[in-house]
């Protein structure tokens, strides 16, 4: 077993030289998915590839997303094919981010798949998901794999790339492939140094510094959170059965939790019940609701085992061993506003496109994120 990782700043603990939890049977290598020679070396004598490498979250580097996620995946697949390596299966980490919005039910039209909410709607403070046929407010329901793919952020676009490249390559080469669409994954060892991704980690670092978790929109948006051990089990299952071959497969808990509730649960687990704070800001392209329909994964024997409260408890016990924990979110939020990744609701009389003004305000001092 070989595990290459580039140990990107923010994704790993800069204080640690090596990962102490790596089992003796596994070989860890510091390598970048974009380094073709390193990828080729790591593929020696490998029969199953778990392609987890990606650049993630709401970070602003567009070119890096494409280079790491899209190019890195294409290069990996080319190496396997062109060098005729004895790889018998590739499992790629896709994401629920590939959907344009979660599925919903309309009182008139039943099951619908709404598009991403327009910027003008969000600027009005209207966060609801409307029926694409009659504009009625929909009710969120679990999203199946046949929902339309979207891609309203650069991360989402490149996850669509990773998934489609891998599945189409598998059809062309005859090598079985599976794309696992992870829900929001969390658990011990999730980086406390990355202020752009991982809602539980971000909320925990805020709370440990006596600061409220920051909510976008009104905090009533819902997420499906899946514990890392359940995600690992899904990968092993995909590697050992042919039931899922050639398909995208949702991996999650199948249960919805509001982002406000997540903040409250983390605060309670830490013993710092600071109420989460919504400041009238939103991120264009972010889904309002998404719960994974995990029926397909269940046909292969997948079943989530770790409840959210238990998983948060495990994360909190781990973070207690990390010594001094800083809040990195506050330093990142101004940059996100300046790059127009975070917007504020327009007040009456204010121009709809106020991004340059927000950028100036962000340079002058912190506001909200």
> Tens digits of per-residue pLDDT, 115-164?
999 999 999 999 999 999 999 999 999 999 999 998 788 999 999 999 99
Question: Rounded mean pLDDT of 250-272?
Answer: 97
Confidence of residue 361 (pLDDT cuts 50, 70, 90): very low
The two structure tokens encoding residue 54: 């990606």
Structure confidence by residue, pLDDT tens digits, 193-229: 877 778 999 999 999 999 999 999 999 999 999 999 9
Q: Give a yes or no: residue 40 inside a domain.
A: yes
Q: Give a yes or no: residue 369 inside a domain.
A: no
Q: Is 271 exposed, middle or buried (0-12, 13-18, 19+ CB in 10 A)?
A: exposed
Round the average pLDDT of the chain to a whole number and report it.
89
Distance CA 262, CA 33 (A): 33
SS3 213: coil
DSSP state of 97: G
Q: Give a yes or no: residue 128 inside a domain.
A: yes
Kindly report the CATH number assigned to the domain that includes residue 178.
3.40.50.720
Residue 287 has pLDDT above 80, yes or no: yes
Q: Give a yes or no: residue 279 inside a domain.
A: yes
- Using DSSP bridges, classify how beta strands 27-30 and 289-290 pair: parallel, antiparallel or unpaired: unpaired
- Using DSSP bridges, classify how beta strands 110-112 and 104-106 pair: parallel, antiparallel or unpaired: antiparallel
Rg (CA), the chain: 21
Q: Give a yes or no: residue 271 inside a domain.
A: yes
Domain residue limits at 299: 2-364
- Cα distance between the two ends of the chain: 41
Q: Give a yes or no: residue 34 inside a domain.
A: yes
Q: Give a yes or no: residue 11 inside a domain.
A: yes
Domain count, the chain: 1
Confidence of residue 367 (pLDDT cuts 50, 70, 90): very low
Question: 330 phi and psi, to 5 degrees?
Answer: -60, -40
Task: Using alpha carbons, list the distances in angstroms from residue 166 to 33, 96, 281, 314.
Answer: 15, 16, 36, 33
Q: Give a yes or no: residue 24 inside a domain.
A: yes
- Using DSSP bridges, classify how beta strands 222-223 and 257-258 pair: parallel, antiparallel or unpaired: antiparallel
């Amino acid at each position: 077993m070989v595990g290459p990782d580039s140990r990107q700043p923010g994704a790993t603990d800069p204080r640690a030289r090596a990962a102490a939890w790596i089992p003796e049977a596994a070989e860890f290598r510091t390598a970048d998915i974009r380094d073709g020679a390193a990828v080729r070396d790591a593929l020696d004598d490998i029969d199953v590839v778990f392609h987890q490498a990606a650049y993630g979250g709401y970070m602003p580097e567009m070119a890096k997303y494409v280079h790491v996620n899209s190019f890195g995946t294409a290069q990996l697949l080319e190496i396997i094919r062109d060098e005729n390596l004895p790889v018998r299966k590739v499992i790629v980490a896709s994401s629920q981010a590939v959907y344009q919005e979660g599925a919903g039910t309309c009182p008139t039209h039943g099951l619908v798949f709404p598009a991403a909410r327009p910027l003008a709607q969000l600027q009005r403070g209207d966060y609801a998901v409307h029926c694409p046929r009659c504009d009625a407010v929909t009710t969120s329901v679990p999203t199946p794999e046949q929902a339309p793919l979207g891609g309203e952020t650069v991360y989402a676009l490149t996850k669509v790339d990773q998934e489609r490249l891998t599945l189409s390559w598998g059809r062309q080469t005859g090598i079985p492939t599976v794309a696992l669409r992870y829900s929001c994954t969390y658990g011990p060892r999730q980086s406390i140094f990355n202020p752009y991704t991982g809602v539980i980690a971000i909320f925990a670092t805020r709370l440990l510094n006596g600061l409220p978790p920051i909510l976008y929109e009104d905090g009533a948006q819902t997420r499906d959170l899946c514990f890392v051990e359940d995600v690992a089990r899904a990968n092993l299952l995909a590697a050992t059965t042919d039931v899922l071959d050639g398909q995208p497969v949702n991996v999650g808990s199948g249960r919805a939790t509001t982002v406000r509730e997540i903040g409250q649960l983390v605060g309670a687990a830490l013993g710092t019940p600071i109420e989460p704070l919504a400041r009238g800001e939103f991120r264009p392209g972010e889904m309002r609701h998404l719960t994974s329909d995990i029926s397909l994964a269940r046909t292969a024997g997948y079943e989530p085992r770790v409840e959210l409260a238990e998983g948060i408890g495990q994360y909190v016990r781990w973070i207690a061993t990390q010594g001094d924990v800083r809040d990195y979110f506050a330093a990142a939020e101004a940059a996100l506003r300046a790059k127009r990744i975070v917007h504020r609701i327009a007040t009456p009389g204010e121009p709809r496109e106020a991004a340059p003004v927000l950028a100036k305000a962000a340079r002058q001092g912190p506001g909200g994120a």
